[in-house]
């Protein structure tokens, strides 16, 4: 086990599967204590079991959390502090995807669902976490999961691309505001990542890879490695950054 994150307490929303799960396991492997905040109890149990099997039983906890509910988000923050004594980082990773649909055919309820999870939910997590980090007065990290589609949009995904573009801008502004407190604020930007929503939408991967110069899907573990690096004390001045791991998609 590496010890680069030893002594740090990290909250990960959407930590039960996909990119979030990879981040949880990587942070634990590097010595952090982690709270998984998610909505799928079966996936939460599986991730907890895997973490315990890796010897992290005393450093991992979980709480069912709907990020569109600010009270549940606060409960997750409180659990982190209660279990591990402090909060060092919050990773707003929980997200919602959507089915490719022409602009004129979008249902308003679907727009609101995606925006509420991907943008408002991120605000709730970072808003609650930032207050704690500022009050502790010892710096820390705030991270959110963005998307290459927030930089280079894909047709027929307006709610998703809009929400992720909003996340990018939110964190740019927040990085400036948090800088005097020595709190790092960064956005991870996956390209075509190997996650359940991406892999199960018919034809999406085949079409999407045509816009990826490396013509490869990004593994969640690679993104998690980048996150662990950004959380570490090795890069105290890395803030306001789009941490792109996209196989060249946003450069093409």
Are 158 and 213 within 8 A, CB to CB?
no
Cα–Cα distance, 118 to 152 (Å, whole number):
17
Split at pLDDT 50, 70, 90, the class of 205 is low
198: confidence class by pLDDT, cuts 50, 70, 90: low
Average pLDDT over residues 10-27: 97
Q: Which of 176, 177, 149, 156 is nearest to 244 (CA)?
A: 149
pLDDT band, very low/low/confident/very high, at 204 (cuts 50, 70, 90): low
2 vs 160 pLDDT, higher one: 160
Partners of 90 in the beta sheet? 11, 142
Phi and psi at 187, nearest 5°, equal -120, 125
Average pLDDT of span 132-154: 95
CA distance 25 to 8: 14
Residue 248: band (very low, low, confident or very high) from pLDDT cuts 50, 70, 90: confident
Determine the pLDDT at residue 199: 60
Q: Cα separation of 77 and 87, whole Å?
A: 8
Percent helix, percent strand, percent coil in the chain, to nearest 5: 50, 15, 30
178: pLDDT strictly greater than 70: yes
**Residue 121's pLDDT is what?**
98
**How confident is the prediction for the chain on average, in pLDDT?**
93
- Yes or no: say if 186 and 239 are a contact pair by the CB < 8 Å rule: yes
Predicted pLDDT of residue 100: 85
* Domains, the chain, ordered by start: 9-251 (3.40.50.720)
Is the pLDDT confidence value at 202 over 90?
no
In the predicted structure, residue 23 carries a pLDDT above the cut 90: yes
> Among 40-54, 121-135, 203-217, which is the least confidently predicted range?
203-217
Encoding tokens for residue 19? 């990119």
**pLDDT tens string 76-91:** 999 999 999 999 999 9
Split at pLDDT 50, 70, 90, the class of 1 is low
| Catalytic annotation, residues | 160
In this prediction, residue 181 carries a pLDDT of 98
Q: Is pLDDT at 114 greater than 70 in this prediction? A: yes
Residues of the chain with pLDDT > 90, as a percent, come to: 79
The string over 31-55, giving b where at least 16 C-beta atoms fall within 10 Å of a residue's C-beta and e elsewhere, is: bbbbbbbbbeeebbeebbeebeeee
User: Which range is least confidently modeled, 50-54, 121-125, 188-192?
Assistant: 188-192
pLDDT over 70 percentage in the chain: 94
What is the structure's pLDDT at 192?
A: 72
The two structure tokens encoding residue 71: 């009270």
pTM: 0.93
């Amino acid at each position: 086990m590496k010890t680069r994150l030893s002594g740090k307490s990290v909250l990960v929303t959407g930590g039960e599967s996909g990119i979030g799960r990879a981040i949880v396991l990587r942070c634990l492997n590097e010595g952090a204590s982690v709270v998984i905040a998610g909505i799928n109890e079966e996936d939460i149990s599986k991730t907890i079991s895997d973490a315990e099997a890796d010897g992290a039983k005393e450093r991992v906890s979980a709480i069912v959390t709907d990020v569109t509910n600010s009270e549940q988000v606060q409960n997750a923050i409180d659990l982190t502090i209660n279990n591990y004594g402090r909060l060092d980082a919050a990773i707003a990773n929980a997200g919602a995807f959507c089915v490719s649909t022409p602009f004129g055919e979008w249902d308003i309820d679907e727009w609101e669902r995606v925006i509420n999870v991907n943008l408002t939910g991120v605000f709730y997590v970072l808003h609650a976490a930032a207050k704690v980090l500022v009050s502790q007065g010892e710096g820390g990290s705030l991270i959110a999961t963005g998307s290459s589609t927030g930089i280079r949009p894909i047709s027929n995904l307006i709610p998703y691309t809009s929400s992720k573009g909003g996340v990018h801008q939110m964190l740019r502004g927040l990085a400036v505001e948090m800088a005097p407190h020595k709190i790092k604020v960064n956005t991870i930007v996956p390209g075509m990542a190997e996650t359940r929503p991406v892999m199960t939408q018919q034809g999406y991967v085949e079409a999407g890879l045509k816009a990826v110069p490396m013509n490869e899907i990004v593994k969640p573990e690679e993104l998690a490695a980048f996150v662990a690096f950004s959380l570490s004390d090795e890069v105290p001045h890395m803030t306001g950054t789009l941490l792109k791991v996209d196989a060249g998609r946003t450069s093409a």
